[in-house]
Amino acid sequence: MVTQNATLKSKEELMEKLRQPEVITGSEILLRSLVLEGVDCVFGYPGGAVLYIYDAMHGFSDFNHLLTRHEQGAIHAADGYARASGKVGVCIATSGPGATNLVTGIATAYMDSVPMVVITGNVMSSLIGTDAFQEADITGITMPITKHSYLVRDVDDLARIIHEAFHIANTGRKGPVLIDIPKDISANKTLFKPVTEVSIRGYNPTVSPNKLQVDKMIKAITEAERPLILAGGGVIYSGAHEELHEFVKKTDIPITTTLLGLGAFPSGEDLFLGMPGMHGTFTANKSIQKADLLINIGARFDDRVTGKLSGFAPYAKIIHIDIDPAEIGKNVPTDIPIVGDVKTVLQIANLQAKRADKADAWRAELLASKAQYPFRYKDSEDELKPQWVVEMLHETTNGDAIVTTDVGQHQMWAAQFYKFNKPRSWVTSGGLGTMGFGFPSAIGAQMANPDRLVISINGDGGMQMCAQELAICAINNIPVKVVILNNQVLGMVRQWQELIYDNRYSHIDLSGSPDFVKLSEAYGVKGFRATNKEEAKAVWEEALRHPGPAVVEFVVRKEENVYPMVAQGSTIDEMIMGDAE
């Protein structure tokens, strides 16, 4: 306790010291402001336009800076850090190609409402607009994929802008904010005065809902015979998982969660129906199509969830709770709109929530369907099935790991067969579907949670997009356990070409990929490979025992498909069941 108190005291003393007015450079203002915002880890890659910033970092120990091997690795790591911690992720890159290499990661965070502050350098203010060496209009380039972008014109504005950026990123509908700092601004000096409060004219997200709308929702629940909850990532981002659990317990309404909502509600509970949509459960999809009341809590009616919009939830009165009013009614007409923070809305609703007494037959129907139609696959003793591998990962970790994924078939198998009981245990690219995201995001998640097991599940395609980040795992002993489900093919593309394009396979062969064990060992990371169940169990146990990072390649069946599947243009109850049909 003495040590803890001493640590707290030293931290308070540091903060007090940093708040003292002093004439310093823009670079020092940036670093001080990041510490005052509670930043403890930054991911970045230096270059000419940010050299003053990196010079100020020399010997700086008030936060950790992780040097990635590519700017895309840096921003995906910052994204994973934010999703797994609930804090704002921060990354830094230089001007021109350094900044443009961040674009995919910014779009990934924007689509999934992830709070990030992205700091880029730019050429000298006097050179902006002259096509100077390594100049790019990064604020213009990223305007459609950020909540807000700043080009700093005066060093006197820098402290205010940094604190505004954090406020914007982490309030309302969360998302990335970009700060572009010309090189001379980072070098200029001014009197630093700490910003104690942020007030932005015209930016006042609605947190508290209209009470009358909440009353309408409660009344609709009491009248419904087939009510259903659809919960999304907004529940997790607002920290509302406990309130959601209370709401479900009080109303006794069955619940389904979107891909980004996994972990918002314990997967082991009876009323949980699984994930809906293109690769969702039979019961979740059927329940949406039969419901007479659909309560959307913090989800955005993505096309992968709704399928054919004109046939989505045809019998349901729609209630939509969202902090972003632009989402309500955008895709699905809404009968009872409730604008507000999910946590606040549910706290108010829970004061008067009552059991949906007319829904007893409905509950019994859905529980029976859930038991009859779980996710299924045909197992094999001769070759590894990817679904079996994910089940093994779940069983050996008791579902307590933080799991990140890349994008493709392995992502859907992880969502289907790894069971999540805690929020912020599932990190995946939903809206943008970004290959290359899985592994670096795991690095960020591990930095945010050094005491938790982090597993990164990847395909052999996406793993090669950011494999260079194995170097920083080795150098910094970041103990991520990297799983590669290697089917030697772009699996999801192959599946579509088989089922929709009449087996016309075009440019999907990945058989020339590297030996992942040798690749791992070249970076100084322990590598393993398994081709059957016995080997799989043995090498995975060894990887778990290994104290540092490890890569485990599971060679799985190339022809395996993800089922159920809803083809584009179909309603979500028109499912191809595959092996389970």
Q: Measuring CA to CA, which residue among 135, 156, 71 is closest to residue 106?
A: 71
Q: What is the mean pLDDT of residues 518-527?
A: 98
Sign of CA dihedral 471, 477, 482, 486: positive
Domain positions in the chain are 21-192, 211-372, 386-562
Q: Which two tokens stand for residue 397?
A: 């970790």
Q: Rounded mean pLDDT of 326-352?
A: 98
pLDDT at res. 581: 46
* Cα Rg, the chain, nearest whole Å: 24
The pLDDT of 490-515, averaged and rounded, is: 95
pLDDT for residue 1 is more than 50: no
Question: To the nearest whole number, what is the mean pLDDT of the chain?
Answer: 96
- Region 435-451 average pLDDT: 98
**CATH T-level assignment (fold) for domain 386-562:** Rossmann fold (3.40.50)
- Quote the pLDDT of residue 282: 97
pLDDT beyond 80 at 133: yes
pLDDT band, very low/low/confident/very high, at 326 (cuts 50, 70, 90): very high
CB within 8 Å of 176: residues ≥ 6 apart: 106, 109, 110, 114, 115, 116, 117, 118, 145, 146, 147, 169
Lowest mean pLDDT among 4-18, 34-48, 529-543: 4-18
- Residue entry with tokens 């350098």: 121
User: In terms of Cα–Cα distance, which of 233, 234, 283 is closest to 255?
Assistant: 283
Q: Of the listed 217, 435, 463, 492, which one is catalytic?
A: 492
Spell 414-429 as b/e; 16+ CB within 10 A means b: bbbbbbbbbbbbbbbb
Peptide bond before 564: cis, by omega within 30 degrees of 0? yes
pLDDT digits (tens, 9 = 90+) for 94-111: 999 999 999 999 999 999
The whole-number pLDDT of residue 15 equals 84
Mean pLDDT of 69-91: 98
pLDDT of residue 16: 85
The confidence score (pLDDT) of residue 578 equals 86
Instruction: Indicate whether 463 pLDDT > 80.
Output: yes
What is the percentage of the chain residues whose pLDDT exceeds 90? Answer: 94
Active-site residue, 412 included: no
Buried/exposed 102-119: b ≥16 CB within 10 Å, e otherwise = bbbbbbbbbbbbbbbbbb
- Please, are residues 124 and 182 in contact by the beta-carbon 8 Å criterion? yes
Q: How large a percentage of the chain has pLDDT more than 70? A: 98
Whether 133 is a known active-site residue: answer yes
Smallest Cα–Cα separation from 120: which of 55, 45, 59? 45
Residue 2 has pLDDT above 50, yes or no: no
**Least confident interval from 1-5, 186-190, 431-435, 539-543:** 1-5
Active-site residue, from 147, 183, 286, 370: 183
Angle at 449 between CA 445 and CA 450, to 5 degrees: 110
Cα–Cα dist 29/8, whole Å: 23
Q: How many residues does the chain have?
A: 581
The catalytically annotated residue of 28, 37, 71, 327 is 71
Is it the case that residue 328 has pLDDT exceeding 90? yes
Q: What count of other Cβ atoms lies within 10 Å of the Cβ of residue 392?
A: 17
**Which residue in the list 22, 134, 250, 330 is annotated as catalytic?**
134
Instruction: Return the CATH fold of 211-372.
Output: Rossmann fold (3.40.50)
Instruction: For 222-263, write each residue's pLDDT tens digit.
Output: 999 999 999 999 999 999 999 999 999 999 999 999 999 999
Question: Tens of pLDDT along 183-216?
Answer: 999 999 999 988 888 999 999 999 999 999 999 9
The tokens of 36 are what? 């005052």
CATH topology of domain 21-192: Rossmann fold (3.40.50)
The runs of H, that is alpha helices, within 382-482 are 386-397, 409-417, 438-448, 470-476
pTM (predicted TM-score): 0.96
pLDDT at 6 over 70: no
* Distance spanning both ends of the chain, measured CA to CA: 59
pLDDT tier at 8, thresholds 50, 70, 90: low
pLDDT band at 12 (very low <50, low <70, confident <90, very high): confident
Q: Residue type at 383?
A: E
Q: Do domains 21-192 and 386-562 have the same CATH topology?
A: yes
- Confidence check: pLDDT of 579 > 70: no
pLDDT at 5: 55
pLDDT for 547 beyond 60: yes
Give the pLDDT mean for 299-319. 97
- Residue 9 — pLDDT band, cuts 50, 70, 90? low
Q: Measured on CA atoms in the order 124, 130, 133, 137, is the torsion positive or negative? A: positive
Q: Which residues pair with 257 in a beta bridge?
A: 231
- Based on the residue annotation, tell me whether 327 is a catalytic residue of this protein: no
Bridge partners of 255?
A: 229, 272
Q: Per-residue pLDDT tens for 254-289? A: 999 999 999 999 999 999 999 999 999 999 999 999
The bridge status of strand 189-192 relative to strand 22-25 is antiparallel
Catalytic residue among 13, 133, 223, 354: 133
Other beta carbons within 10 Å of 557: 14
